[in-house]
Structure 1
Amino acid sequence: MLIPVPAQDSDPSEVAVSRAMLDGHTVVFATPEGAQATCDELMVTGEGLDLWSRVRGLRKLTAVGRVLRADSAARSAHAALLADPAWRTPIRWADINLDDFDGLLLPGGHRARGMRSYLESPVLQDVVVSAFQRDLPVGAICHGVLLAARSVDPATGRSVLHGRTTTALTWQLERTAWQLARRTRFWDPDYYRTYREEPGQPAGYMSVQQEVTRALARPEHFRDTTDRVQASGRARDSMEDSRPAFVVEDGNYVSARWPGDVHTFAKTFATRL
């Protein structure tokens, strides 16, 4: 079971909870150069997301950061991840051989500093194409779906998601977090936007939802929920409660929107293995 991640800034919930939910499977991590990765530290601690974060002595006082960071279950899973020998000894992206794996899981993360190399990697895009060609179980959550959308099968000239149904980080969720954090983390206003629109592009054009949708056969193949609890962005799922989660299955492909879906997403993906 393979989980590729960037060198830094992957989402701690999506990586660590997925690993925990795949207990019983041999998990191998892959990073650009085979060195141990680090998850987005702001999403682990919540420190640095409040107006006063740069005031000496106040950084550890979190309000907005407490809401946006990983929840207690995910932070516990992240602590266990750091102690996992598989996390400490990843393979290189270039050394991935899908003959060695029976599934591929693509976590997300939003911070441009680390995520762009992951989302734009031709090596990983080739891995994703090969996984779909082999009909391996593939799971993608949040920006991980964007990596899949950008993976173009040379046999068809289309994204591997063309003709499939999927969800991903929605523009509603992305915009809400961005608008909040751009005010409280004013010195880094685009922390929650991996890509920003160019002049002349409409609002949200470079959002995950809109880019993924452009890769699909039909716009309606992008799935979102109309359920108020699931759409609110205020409730997260857990081992015991899948009610807040929204997960889409299409054959051996499983997708989800954000860290609040991750327990249900990983549990659903595990059934494919």
Structure 2
Amino acid sequence: MKKVLVPLPDYGFDPTEAAIPWLLLTAAGYDVQFATPGGYSAMADLRMLRGTDLGIWKWVLTARKDAVMAYHQMSNSDAFCNPIPYTDIVADNYDALLLPGGHDKGVRPYLESALLQQVVSHFFVTQKPVGAICHGVVLAARSKHPQTGLSVLHTYKTTALLQSQELMAYRLTRLWLKDYYLTYPVTVQAEVTAELQDAAQFLTGPLPLKRDDARHLRRGFTVLDRHYLSARWPGDAYHFATDFIALLG
């Protein structure tokens, strides 16, 4: 049974971007294992789960019911309840790496972890499958190749959360949520693009108007370059998980 490592922050990851891939991977027979900073169970961004304080935009911005149900299944699984600490990760023990996103400030320790960046670098050097969605691409972009000192994504095509998406969510809610939707002052797209050899390597895909699901995979968008798969937002989660399983297969 192939093992897939999914590192998470203690708090703030996006429930859809972690739970939908977990659901489809486990259904396909893969062994999904989790890691957190201290080895304690993680918790998703509660605002994404419950729609708290999202006002009239709750129906647009909250995780969909299928994702919430998948999250509750995942959060009750043995693997999720017994993660390993980042310090215990042995990259060679895993066949693939999956990096979920999340925009709450709680994801910063995950995105800034030197330990996780070393793990990501190892997977790129050994060319094992890596999947990154939304802010998970930031973690990949910050990981350096040991031989060049450049980002491991430097020569890869990729996508990530679009600047237009990030700024729209921020502008819709900034009057009462302030900068909740801005994890950093620099947008995801801007930071990731800056690490690429050519800005044209960042692919935006079609307008992200509708979220995908198991019956409407074409609504989602992914970019595959060699052993690396990327996606933009929770609306790509089913397409992303399906393509990641195909990459593993």
Q: Normalising by the residue count of structure 2, what TM-score does the alignment of the two structures yield? A: 0.96
Aligned-CA RMSD value:
0.9
User: Counterpart of 1:11?
Assistant: 14
| Paired residue type of 1:77 | A
| Paired residue type of 2:30 | H
User: Counterpart of 2:95?
Assistant: 102
| Paired residue type of 2:85 | R
**d(CA) in 2 for partners of 1:145, 1:4:** 13
Match of 2:45 among 30, 40, 53: 40
* Runs of 4 or more consecutive aligned structure 1 residues displaced over 2 Å after TM superposition: none
Gaps (5+ residues) in structure 2?
none
SS in 1 for 2:154: coil
SS in 2 for 1:140: strand
**d(CA) in 1 for partners of 2:144, 2:219:** 32
Please say if 1:159 is aligned against 2:151.
Answer: yes
Please say if 1:179 is aligned against 2:164.
Answer: no
Higher helix share: 2
Q: Work out the percentage of aligned pairs sharing the same amino acid.
A: 45
**d(CA) in 1 for partners of 2:219, 2:142:** 28
Match of 1:223 among 203, 225, 241: 203
**1:207-262: per-residue Cα shift (whole Å, max 9, x none)?**
0001000000100000012x3xxx1x431000110122110000110000000000
**1:191-213: per-residue Cα shift (whole Å, max 9, x none)?**
000011xxxxxxxxx10001000
User: Counterpart of 2:85?
Assistant: 92
| Paired residue type of 2:53 | G
**d(CA) in 2 for partners of 1:66, 1:245:** 19
Q: How many matched pairs? A: 243
User: Counterpart of 1:211?
Assistant: 191
User: Counterpart of 1:55?
Assistant: none
Please say if 1:237 is aligned against 2:212.
Answer: yes
Gaps (5+ residues) in structure 1?
51-62, 197-205
Please say if 1:79 is aligned against 2:72.
Answer: yes
**1:158-177: per-residue Cα shift (whole Å, max 9, x none)?**
00001110000010111111
SS in 2 for 1:265: helix
SS in 2 for 1:27: strand
Larger radius of gyration: 1
Please say if 1:28 is aligned against 2:33.
Answer: yes
User: Counterpart of 1:199?
Assistant: none
Match of 1:194 among 168, 174, 183: 183
**d(CA) in 1 for partners of 2:165, 2:109:** 23
**d(CA) in 1 for partners of 2:12, 2:25:** 21
The within-5 A match list for 1:120-139 is 120-139=112-131
Q: CA deviation at 1:95?
A: 0.5
**d(CA) in 2 for partners of 1:108, 1:10:** 6
Please say if 1:271 is aligned against 2:246.
Answer: yes
Q: CA deviation at 1:74?
A: 0.6
**d(CA) in 1 for partners of 2:90, 2:247:** 20
Q: CA deviation at 1:76?
A: 1.1
| Paired residue type of 2:197 | A
User: Counterpart of 1:201?
Assistant: none
